[in-house]
């Protein structure tokens, strides 16, 4: 800045000298007082112009310096914002990566859960044939009403419902009735007493036909057995219905269709 002002002053002095030299050379006579006064006025005008230029330059300099300071402050602020944005962007990327990993884990768990539920439903469905007839009917109704593309939560709820019904049936004495066909092809209406879901006895209304029921690999089976007293079965049913006073009744327990307990080794079951 000072160098530029010095150059400007030198330029003004040079112009003044050139003007004075030109005026002197224009006349060979000694300059008059009027001419000297004119030269002084011109010189003062140039000096004033120099001062004005310097003032204007100072003002412009201050304005430029303020502008530079503002630009530098703005650049610094932009750099800070850029740094913050970069940090925030990195944080967002890390969070997005963590969320994606969590989503993949949840999807994997959901897939495993869906496969488990499908397996559970297959197991529940395979049990249907070995269940007592009352439970078989319930199984058939509930499974038939289940949509083919049901949500895993719906499928799980239905499977748990069926298992809870099986658990309830397993821990109580249940009654039912149905028509069975004898070996001679004669239909007989019988009443049935279920001991849980693994043993049952039946008898016709007059006690002339009686037998036992239990599941095997081919499903639930009914067998007429003349060694079973129908009156005992009917008496046990009456106790369950609270029609008579409870007492000990001797009924045979059979572990499977092929293996029967003899009446001599029958287990006495107290019935309420």
Encode pLDDT of 123-135 as tens digits.
888 888 889 999 9
Encode pLDDT of 169-180 as tens digits.
998 899 999 999
**Same domain membership, residue 121 and residue 134:** no
- Judged by DSSP in three states, 221 sits in strand
Quick one: pLDDT at residue 212?
94
**Same domain membership, residue 132 and residue 121:** no
Quick one: pLDDT at residue 265?
30
Quick one: pLDDT at residue 30?
61
pTM exceeds 0.85, yes or no: no
Could you list the residue range(s) of the whole structural domain that residue 161 is in?
Answer: 126-168
Higher pLDDT, 115 or 200: 200
In a domain, 110, yes or no: yes
DSSP-assigned states of every residue in 181-218? E-TTS-EEEEEEEEETTTEEEEEETTSSSEEEEEEETT
pLDDT-derived band at 28, boundaries 50, 70, 90: very low
**Same domain membership, residue 236 and residue 188:** yes
Instruction: Work out how many domains the chain is built from and give that number.
Output: 3
**Same domain membership, residue 6 and residue 105:** yes
Separation of alpha carbons 200 and 174, rounded Å: 9
Encode pLDDT of 53-92 as tens digits.
888 888 888 888 888 888 888 888 888 888 887 877 778 7
206-218 mean pLDDT: 90
Q: How many CA atoms lie within 13 Å of 167's alpha carbon, on the beta-carbon side?
A: 6
In a domain, 200, yes or no: yes
Cα 202-207-208 angle, rounded to 5 deg: 105
pLDDT-derived band at 266, boundaries 50, 70, 90: very low
Q: What is the mean pLDDT of the chain?
A: 79
Block residue for tokens 């029609």: 243
In a domain, 92, yes or no: yes
Quick one: pLDDT at residue 267?
29
The two structure tokens encoding residue 47: 């000096």
Quick one: pLDDT at residue 53?
82
**Same domain membership, residue 254 and residue 192:** yes
Strand partners, 212: 201, 223
Quick one: pLDDT at residue 40?
77
13-32 mean pLDDT: 54
């Amino acid at each position: 800045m000072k160098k530029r002002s010095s150059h400007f002053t030198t330029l003004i002095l040079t112009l003044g000298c050139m003007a004075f030299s030109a005026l002197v050379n224009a006349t060979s006579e000694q300059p008059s007082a009027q001419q000297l006064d004119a030269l002084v006025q011109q010189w003062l005008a140039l000096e004033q112009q120099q001062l004005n230029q310097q003032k204007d330059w100072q003002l412009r300099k201050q304005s430029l310096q303020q502008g530079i300071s503002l630009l530098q402050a703005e650049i610094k602020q932009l750099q800070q914002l850029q740094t913050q944005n970069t940090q925030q962007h990195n944080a967002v990327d890390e969070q997005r990566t963590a969320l994606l990993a969590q989503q993949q884990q949840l999807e994997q768990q959901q897939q495993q859960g869906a496969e488990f539920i499908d397996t559970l439903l297959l197991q529940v469905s395979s049990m249907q044939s070995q269940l007592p007839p009352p439970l078989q009917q319930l199984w058939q109704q509930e499974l038939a009403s289940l949509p083919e593309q049901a949500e895993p939560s719906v499928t799980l709820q239905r499977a748990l419902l069926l298992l809870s019904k099986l658990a309830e049936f397993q821990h109580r004495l249940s009654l039912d009735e149905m028509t069975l066909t004898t070996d001679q092809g004669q239909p007989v209406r019988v009443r049935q007493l279920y001991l849980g879901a693994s043993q049952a006895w039946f008898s016709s209304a007059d006690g002339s036909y009686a037998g036992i029921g239990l599941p095997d690999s081919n499903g639930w089976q009914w067998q007429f057995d003349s060694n079973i007293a129908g009156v005992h079965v009917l008496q046990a049913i009456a106790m369950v219905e609270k029609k008579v006073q409870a007492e000990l009744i001797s009924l045979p327990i059979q572990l499977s269709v092929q293996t029967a307990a003899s009446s001599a080794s029958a287990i006495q079951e107290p019935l309420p």
